[in-house]
Amino acid sequence: MTARQENLPSPLHVPDDRYLVGLIGAGITASLTPPMHEAEAAALGLTYGYRVFDLIELGRRAEDVGPLLARAKSSGFAAMNITHPCKQLVVDIVDELDADAEHLHAVNLVVFDGERLVGYNTDWMGFRDGLVAGLPGASFERVVQIGCGGAGAATAYALLSHGTDRLDLFDVDDARAEDLAARMRTYFPAQTVATVARRGLPEVIAAASGVVHATPMGMLHHPGVAFDVDLLREGAWVSDVVYRPLETELIRQAARRGHPVLDGGRMAVGQACASLQIITGRLPDRDRMRRHFHALIGAEERPGAPGSSQ
């Protein structure tokens, strides 16, 4: 047995009334998902443990996600959350894909169902539920999205699932925006999905009923604002997927100008809530989870607390 293998849990047997869940990804030791899951499970009266499998600490590559899943399954885990850089790799490992995960070609939750591995994507669910709860009465007639990477795929899918009439996509990589637009058109043929060049971005933002920001800009180590908030028309809403910090400069500027805003915490809580419900079959209290999430973020942002961008 190598030193790397010794860092993995030994096989164990978990009683039927208990849940052991994990998270696989790189640079995730500061993830807020474990405490969110454990606190809400405890409030629901469940015996629930959550373990982190950080690829960097384990000395593993992203391609090792398959063996890690197999070891977790044999060790009695009920499910594993999956994050960067493994979400696409897991698509080809699981035995069955939920339809939405198949459409997004990304998995962030693997449930061990007997001998089968079933893959789900709760990122898009988290964003969709955030739209419903956080922007009541908002117009989705025409939405602009900036960023078409992994998070952008989930937000675009959620927006179109929620009924957005027209979605304009922008990315610094034109090919990435075109690829996402083509995929979304396949699943939402009755809605308009277009791409926009940088020179045309100000015009489409000015015409939009809402703007979604889905890039790392605004994170602790990636400061800045992705677009000029003064371009927004009156009443247009703004959503950011970044949640560290919870109040990004984009959210701050938009709120100061009187625009409805949706911070990235809604998506983070929503995906955790959906995962917990799929794993346990119990309905979590979303508001309670959000209060706990805000307490965790608040503790991080106190003077002297170690910062993190994960």
Cβ atoms within 10 Å, residue 28: 21
Q: Which two tokens stand for residue 269?
A: 């809580």
Report the C-alpha gap between 222 and 219 in whole angstroms. 5
Q: Is 301 helix (H, G, I), strand (E, B) or coil?
A: helix
Cite the active site residues: 87
Q: Which of helix, strand or coil describes residue 248?
A: coil
CB under 8 Å to 252, separation ≥6 — which residues? none
Identify the bridge partners of residue 54 per DSSP, sorted by sequence position: 25
**Amino acid at position 296, single letter:** L
The two tokens of residue 10 are: 């030994």
| Residue 285 φ/ψ, nearest 5 degrees | -90, 100
Burial class (CB in 10 A: 0-12, 13-18, 19+), 137: exposed
Per the CB < 8 A criterion, the answer to whether 146 and 213 are in contact is: yes
Largest distance between two CA atoms of the chain: 63
CB distance 62 to 82 below 8 Å: no
